Amino acid sequence: MKRIIVVGNGMVGYKFCEKLRKQGVAAEVIVYGEEPRPAYDRVHLTSFFSGKTAEDLLMAPASWYAEHHIVLHTGELVTEIDRQQKTITTHTGKTDRYDYLVLATGSSPFVPNVKGVERDGVFVYRTIEDLNQIIDYGKKVTRAAVLGGGLLGLEAGKALVDLGLETHIVEFAPRLMPRQLDEQGSVILQHKLSQLGIAVHLNKSTKEIAGNGKLDGLEFVDGSFLPIEMLVISAGIRPRDEVAKGCGLEVHPRGGVVVNDFLQTNDENIFAIGEVAVHNNMVYGLVAPGYEMADIVVRQIAGDFSKTFQGFDMSTKLKLMGVDVGSFGDALGETPGCIPIAFQDKHNGVYKRINISADGKYLLGGILVGDAKQYNLFHQMAANKMALPAQPESLIIGAPGKGEEGAGVKNLPDSAQICACENITKGDLVFQITEKGVKTLDDLKRSTKACTGCGGCTPMVNDILKITLESLGHTVKKSICEHFDYTRQELYDIVKIKNIKTYDALLDSHGKGDGCEVCKPLVASLLASAWNELIVSQATIQDTNDRFLANIQRGGTYSVVPRIAGGEITPQKLMAIGRIAEKYGLYTKITGGQRIDMFGARVDQLPEIWEELIDEGFESGHAYGKALRTIKSCVGSTWCRYGVQDSVSFAIYIEDRYKGLRAPHKLKGAVSGCIRECAEAQSKDFGIIATEKGWNLYVCGNGGSRPQHAKLLVTDVDTETCVKLVDRFLMFYIRTADPLTRTATWLNKMEGGLEYLRDVIVNDSLGIGEALEKEMAELIANYACEWKKVVEDPALRAQFKHFINEDSTDSTLSFVEMRGQKCPPDWNKK
């Protein structure tokens, strides 16, 4: 029996072992790993800073190796290879014999030769041990920097942000992520990072890491100085090729073990895979090509020489500190004759670039920053040379009309690689569904290993599953959970037809079991949407916010947001808010929705604060619920010389009309008095813009982390017609949207897109227009201020206390002063 030694037990080394056993290769396998634990997931290393443990990150426990008859040595560094005797020696003096040797030693962080690099407070970002040291040291400092603005550097930056440190990114190049992004994409990414409080320093060459023992700053060649207390070096990688050099294997001048298309070194019995391997002068720093290399070496050992390594697509999509970034194909447009098409939205922090072939037929590559929902589809279009639409710019201007990725999945060839990490094609997935009877995403993951690497392919895998099942005649049903064999839409119809008003009644008549954390809040939200009755009367509630009709904030206190319709408020009401906020010691801030937010209220103070606000003419602003939030407005024709309609009056009417309206997700609207759009109506769930002839109505816009412009539904309608269409639109959304789905996503996934929605709402193609208007009228008629109901009901009011059996307040609440007001102390520095 052949004896295989694997040197290195990282992700790629583990994957080699897994594939070897899956192929059923009969061989003794011995693994030597330098680190003190089995292989773990470096791709998601930053999750260690947000609560994941070393055990959570394990690729497999030590028991897995034993179960698969693999001998694992941890904490054992291979220091010598004797190619003549076919033996290895470790740092402890242990020797072992091999028939085949697989080098999976990976890489180490590149540490530049800068004076002072040995100072206390300087770290690299590579292993869990490194992370533990960074966490411990981070507790003693407040200002830190990362040396390197590439992929790894930004990941390290995310770690420092999670530690609550003032964070700086220092990059030698003139832009962030210089290998993946062009200048415009880097500018957008830098702006997004600055909004998170991260300072970016470009074109910086570090002269010295200054300090006396421990560092106190970075001195740059241009004479500038950055005062910091901690530095994480993440400026690239260097292949771990020292043991290969020592035994005479061919090594590339820039580092790394040279391999051929079979991943063989210049010794036919020694292979190299992962970041230590150099193939055609290229080192691959992503996990997916390492997995591909592992598969090819397994085949060689098994006697299958049909597959060779021909390079690898380095396209990548990731979320950097909450910012989506995607880079695929020829991202920087280096193909001769290619034509770039770019879209930039500086206001929302979105940049999209596609590079098309000179003949306009094919997509070659591109860049996505701030909104990478289309990454998977674009990547496949480029990889499979799928034909472009007649107007290629339509791919990036606006959102796809139907199903985002789902619309393009049907056109992908079976050879399209869907999961790069495990080299799973569309054909592989379809085979499992059509021939093996797989019907769920979890089963598809288990049978193919798709989605188990970086996870970026999950949306497309799910789309393939759904479309393939539908093609087989299966009904793809979105049951909300094991207790209700219905979709949200079906439950909504049941509630309305059967006149069901409580969760228990619905569970008894159409469910089973006792319910769960999925169906209870969903049904509570659905009942509120159907009847607009008091949310706190439900025994099951959406969440803590609905339970106390206020948003719980950091530190355990609540915020109070009274409704200020259209942003219009009298001086008397302004003074009332000031008086009440001062009386209860609340922090006050004007919100982006033209309201005043008051933070820092104890739960027992809420009814008292509401009572005083109600006496001054205020009511709940529903800032805590999946409900209508605000209708933003400009001053319109009332004051503005450009205004053509009274936008304030209309905004107040609209907000008063729909206040308290519960929906699958929160709702925001706006009314602008002219086309200058000062109320930003086109970034709202519904927006109304004045024209000389009436109003233009836009729908399904979205701000936030995934911004999307609203779509024009109808133009130049009168006020009455506009209101009627908004009634229909909102009720149709409430009836048909999935749980926690914003209107933008609802439209993106709608069969037929905007044209279908226009047919239903404007043309009444389904004949339900009057019914939708009637349902809206019933909800409006049933509105009551939730705060007022609680204030007037002693039983409800008694629920607002910190402890069930006594009236004392929470003694753990604490505050610090900030700019003349109070705020909770920083959790990371308490």
| Range of weakest confidence among 75-89, 273-287, 537-551 | 537-551
Residue 194 lies inside a defined structural domain of this protein:
yes
Q: How far apart are CA 82 and CA 247, in angstroms?
A: 7
CB 367 within 8 Å of CB 180: yes
401: confidence class by pLDDT, cuts 50, 70, 90: very low
Question: Which of 455, 476, 497 marks a domain boundary?
Answer: 476
User: If you average pLDDT over every residue of the chain, what do you get?
Assistant: 89
Residue 771 clears pLDDT 90, i.e. is over it? yes
Identify whether residues 126 and 250 lie together within a single domain: no
Predicted local distance difference test score (pLDDT) of residue 827: 58
Residue 311 lies inside a defined structural domain of this protein:
no
List b or e across 663-690, with b for residues whose CB sees 16 or more CB atoms inside 10 angstroms.
bbbbbbbbbbbbeebbbbbbbbbbbbbb
Per-residue pLDDT of 146-165, as tens digits, reads 999 988 888 889 889 888 89
CB 635 within 8 Å of CB 643: yes
75: which 2 tokens?
Answer: 């904490």
634 is in an annotated binding site: yes
678 is in an annotated binding site: yes
Averaged over 170-194, what is the pLDDT?
Answer: 91
Predicted local distance difference test score (pLDDT) of residue 29: 96
Per-residue pLDDT of 93-109, as tens digits, reads 999 999 999 999 999 99
Q: Which of 4-8, 48-52, 307-311, 410-414 has the highest mean pLDDT?
A: 4-8
Identify whether residues 694 and 556 lie together within a single domain: yes
Predicted local distance difference test score (pLDDT) of residue 71: 97
Give the chain's domain count.
4
404: confidence class by pLDDT, cuts 50, 70, 90: very low
Residue 517 lies inside a defined structural domain of this protein:
no
Residue with more model confidence, 383 or 537? 383
Identify whether residues 663 and 769 lie together within a single domain: yes
Q: Which of 608, 634, 618, 610 is nearest to 570 (CA)?
A: 618
481 is in an annotated binding site: no
Predicted local distance difference test score (pLDDT) of residue 214: 84
Averaged over 121-139, what is the pLDDT?
Answer: 92
Predicted local distance difference test score (pLDDT) of residue 481: 80
Q: How far apart are CA 821 and CA 815, in angstroms?
A: 10
- Assign residue 410 the CATH number of its domain: 1.10.10.1100
Residue with more model confidence, 191 or 482? 191
Predicted local distance difference test score (pLDDT) of residue 828: 54
Identify whether residues 104 and 251 lie together within a single domain: yes
407: confidence class by pLDDT, cuts 50, 70, 90: very low
Identify whether residues 600 and 575 lie together within a single domain: yes
Q: How far apart are CA 267 and CA 270, in angstroms?
A: 5
Per-residue pLDDT of 578-624, as tens digits, reads 999 999 999 999 988 889 999 999 999 999 999 999 999 999 999 98
Identify whether residues 597 and 710 lie together within a single domain: yes
In the chain, the percentage of residues whose pLDDT exceeds 70 is: 96
804: which 2 tokens?
Answer: 């069930």
Run of H or E including 266: none
Identify whether residues 259 and 229 lie together within a single domain: no
Residue 402 clears pLDDT 90, i.e. is over it? no
- Assign residue 130 the CATH number of its domain: 3.50.50.60
Residue 58 lies inside a defined structural domain of this protein:
yes
Predicted local distance difference test score (pLDDT) of residue 826: 73
Per-residue pLDDT of 663-716, as tens digits, reads 999 999 999 999 899 999 999 999 999 999 999 999 999 887 667 899 999 999
Per-residue pLDDT of 472-502, as tens digits, reads 888 666 677 888 888 888 899 898 888 998 8
User: Could you tell me whether strands 122-124 and 821-823 are parallel, antiparallel, or unpaired per DSSP bridges?
Assistant: unpaired
With helix as H, strand as E and coil as C, how does 809-820 read? CCCCCCCEEECC
Run of H or E including 96: strand 95-97
Identify whether residues 665 and 726 lie together within a single domain: yes
Residue 546 clears pLDDT 80, i.e. is over it? no
Q: Which of 366-370, 452-456, 748-752, 826-830 has the highest mean pLDDT?
A: 366-370
- Assign residue 669 the CATH number of its domain: 3.30.413.10
Identify whether residues 154 and 292 lie together within a single domain: no
538: confidence class by pLDDT, cuts 50, 70, 90: low
Q: Is this model's pTM higher than 0.85 or not?
A: no
Residue with more model confidence, 637 or 421? 637
Identify whether residues 141 and 264 lie together within a single domain: no
403: confidence class by pLDDT, cuts 50, 70, 90: very low
Identify whether residues 619 and 760 lie together within a single domain: yes
Identify whether residues 555 and 660 lie together within a single domain: yes
Residues 6+ apart with CB under 8 A from 237: 107, 108, 109, 110, 152, 275, 283, 285
Residue 675 lies inside a defined structural domain of this protein:
yes
Question: Which of 196, 214, 235 marks a domain boundary?
Answer: 235
Residue 821 lies inside a defined structural domain of this protein:
no
Q: Is 796 exposed, middle or buried (0-12, 13-18, 19+ CB in 10 A)?
A: middle
Q: How far apart are CA 749 and CA 664, in angstroms?
A: 15
Per-residue pLDDT of 198-226, as tens digits, reads 999 999 999 999 998 789 999 999 999 99
Question: Which of 187, 217, 235 marks a domain boundary?
Answer: 235
Residue 349 lies inside a defined structural domain of this protein:
no
| Range of weakest confidence among 262-266, 513-517, 534-538 | 534-538
Q: Which of 287, 237, 203 is nearest to 111 (CA)?
A: 237
Per-residue pLDDT of 303-314, as tens digits, reads 989 899 998 888
Side by side, the strands of the sheet bearing 551-552 are 551-552, 558-560, 596-601, 587-590
91: which 2 tokens?
Answer: 């740092």
Could you list the residue range(s) of the whole structural domain that residue 589 is in?
548-781
Residue 400 clears pLDDT 90, i.e. is over it? no
Residues 6+ apart with CB under 8 A from 303: none
Averaged over 421-438, what is the pLDDT?
Answer: 89
Q: How far apart are CA 707 and CA 712, in angstroms?
A: 16
Residue with more model confidence, 6 or 821? 6
Averaged over 310-325, what is the pLDDT?
Answer: 80
Predicted local distance difference test score (pLDDT) of residue 37: 92
166: which 2 tokens?
Answer: 């003032």
CB 739 within 8 Å of CB 663: no
Residue 758 lies inside a defined structural domain of this protein:
yes
Residue with more model confidence, 10 or 392? 10
